[in-house]
Copies of this chain bind each other. A is one copy, B any other.
Amino acid sequence: MKTINVGLIGAGTIGKGVIEAFIENQKSIFAKTGVDVVLKTVCDRDENMRNEVRTLGDFHITADAYEVINDETISIVIELIGGINPAKELILSAIKKKKHVVTANKALISENWKEIFSLANQHKVAVGFEASVGGGIPVIKTLRESFVANNIQVIYGILNGTTNFILTTMAEHGSSFEQALLKAQKKGIAESNPGLDISGKDSAYKLSILSMISFGVAVSPDEIYTEGIEDITPQDIKYAEKLGYSIKLLAIAKKNTDSLQLRVHPTLISSGSLLANVKGEDNAIFIKGDFVGESLLYGKGAGRRPTASSVMSDVLEIAESVACGCAIKPNKFVFSDEPAKIVNLGELDICYYLRFSVIDKPGVLAKIASILAEHNISISGMSQEERKRGQSVPVIMLTHNAEEGEMRKAINTIDQMEVVTSKTVVIRIEG
């Protein structure tokens, strides 16, 4: 029987999970696949990491990634160092050496898909990236293979565990954003520099990948409207709850006949929905297709072993193809002939949650309502719970569908009123 050799570049958190999978489940993997897949070489630049790997098993260990890439006996290269450089160069070099590549690198894939997949098709190798979105959740395979006969209509993704943990903590304990972030950092769920997560950028990377495989169009993460969770307050979460909503950071894709909405922002969703019940660091992706209807995939969106599970699924699928001498199917991700027509955010037609901070005195609400009306925005519900004559109080309004451009103009006008004491909070509602 032919042995399929694998090389691993990057023995950090996920890399360790992959090593564990090779060690712990070697026997059952062989029983299931009938293929003898061996982790031959592990590469890491860090000496401590290398020493740690040495204690785990009998691998060739190196600090030089090219000892993996240039090894003629290695068929599959796993890249788990993250970031753009030198990951990009290593992946492209591996492809040129006709090696199949498996990666969890969302930034790299979403920003360089064209270069990577063109080169892979040219050299007839596979590039697996299941682990780049949703950790252990098989969302890439589901969209590409299981739902292949569907036109995907809607994707709502909770794609970032850090922000979901922060929002859950704020909801359950009434913590401020800052307190919840600190708790996440103490638990190792948020990085010391958490900008990529809380700004929504990490979710935008992932939405760009989901959009590529679902709609066949290539949209750079920079083209996706992205809003983070920094400005969400525990008050807003509490008010939303009373109105029957939860606040989640959603990555949203909606396909209409000839246009595509792509956006990442905090969103009010019905408390009764499955997505609203996705708590802590967990991830979930709601997918609606024209045949399959409404579906949800839920699981661990990050972490050593869940992410390793996805890396291994790519590795073993490729290994089975290599073992049977099968041709590698071309990476046909961007399959639409038409350029992506991304809906301009100003044209968005959607319901809103608005929290005004206004001086409590007669006539204020009438004035706000009339400004909204001038912009064709009608109110579906209103509540002012506190009464403090002459002082600032919060007023919550929900609107019917309205145009985002008009909403921005209206809020701009309202925020200039003398009785408005701070910037109005605007959160979009979905579902």
Contacts and interface: CB of A to CB of B under 8 A. Distances in A.
Contact of A299 (B296, B299, B313, B327): B296
Contacts of A325: 327
A32 B332 contact: yes
B291 A28 contact: no
A294 B299 contact: yes
A266 interface: no
A250 to B, nearest CB: 17
A207 to B, nearest CB: 19
Contact of A149 (B31, B142, B308, B320): B308
Contacts of A142: 138, 141-142
Interface stretch (A2-10, A17-25, A405-413): A17-25
A17 B329 contact: no
A305 interface: yes
B296 A295 contact: no
A312 interface: yes
Given A149-B316, A327-B324, A300 B294 contact: yes
Contact of A146 (B24, B298, B310): B310
A418 interface: no
A309 B149 contact: yes
Interface string A94-118: 0000000000000000000000000
A291 B335 contact: no
A293 B32 CA distance: 19
B148 A290 contact: no
A272 B309 CA distance: 27
A151 interface: yes
A366 interface: no
Nearest to A138: B146
B290 A25 contact: yes
A277 interface: yes
How many of these chains are in the complex? 2
Interface residues on A, range: 35 or more
Given A299-B292, A317-B145, A327-B325, A150 B277 contact: no
A275 to B, nearest CB: 10
B292 A136 contact: yes
A274 interface: yes
A136 B293 contact: yes
Contacts of A29: 148-149
B309 A25 contact: no
Contact of A313 (B17, B24, B149, B321): B149
A192 interface: no
Nearest to A137: B295
Contact of A305 (B20, B291, B303, B320): B291
B292 A148 contact: no
Contact of A295 (B136, B144, B146): B136
A293 B310 contact: no
Given A31-B335, A320-B329, A332-B32, A25 B295 contact: no
6 nearest A-B pairs in the assembled complex, by CB-CB distance: A149-B312, A138-B146, A326-B326, A295-B299, A136-B292, A291-B309
Given A20-B291, A296-B296, 6 more contacts: A21-B291, A32-B216, A33-B332, A272-B277, A293-B306, A294-B300
25 contacts: A25-B151, A31-B335, A32-B148, A33-B148, A130-B146, A138-B142, A141-B146, A142-B142, A145-B313, A148-B312, A149-B309, A274-B278, A274-B298, A290-B305, A291-B305, A292-B306, A292-B309, A293-B306, A295-B298, A295-B299, A296-B298, A298-B298, A324-B326, A324-B327, A326-B326
